[in-house]
Amino acid sequence: MRTIIYITGPTSSGKSTASRRLSSETGIPVFHADHAYEIIQKEYNVPVHPAKLTNHALWGNPRNFGIESWNGSVDMNDAKSHAYSILFKDRVIEDSMIEGFTVSFLDERRLIREIIGPHISVLFRLNLDYEKWLKLFLKKFEEKKAPERLLYDRLRNCFQAEEEDAVFEFRDPSEITKSSLNKVLARYQ
């Protein structure tokens, strides 16, 4: 059975850097969950930046994004299902990585499972301490003012796992390596 490695963590925790590096070391393709939100923004003509679509606190109402509905539905999962179908269209998804903040959510991973079929879910969770995360956040956004600790706690606490999910925590993006992946995958062979 194929294995999907979900690389997740708070916004600006080094997920993209870690997954791209791991992909280049292993040849395992990586998909960025945010591309689904770019598809949603384009397909539904949403008048906000795609990054704002990943704000899960607003998902319950399409009017939060300046539109009446997601193609006749008020459920954003319909829009996400459509977007992920486009993202994975005509691609053979064998062992792969999917990275992004939104794959922290159980519903998001269940939706992906419906689209790409059965697989073993391995979750690589970046669980950085606040100081390390803050350095990465400020480096990315070059803000003069640090975000409130509340933002970090809220993003970090979004993580959900099912009982059968294999969850591996990393304190730094540099810890996600070919060696760490091989140790994890050896458990399933």
Block mean pLDDT (10 aa), the chain, length 189: 90 92 94 94 93 89 93 88 90 85 94 91 93 83 69 88 89 92 78
**128: CATH:** 3.40.50.300
Q: What is the pLDDT of residue 47?
A: 95
pLDDT for 89 equals: 87
Q: What is the extent of the structural domain holding 47? A: 3-186
Please give the Cα distance from 115 to 168 (Å, whole number): 24
Which residue shows structure tokens 């708070």? 10
Digit-coded pLDDT (tens) for 14-64: 999 999 999 999 999 999 999 999 999 999 999 999 988 998 889 989 999
d(CA 74, CA 69): 5
Overall number of domains in the chain? 1
The confidence score (pLDDT) of residue 154 equals 86
The rounded distance, in Å, linking the Cα atoms of 9 and 176 is 13
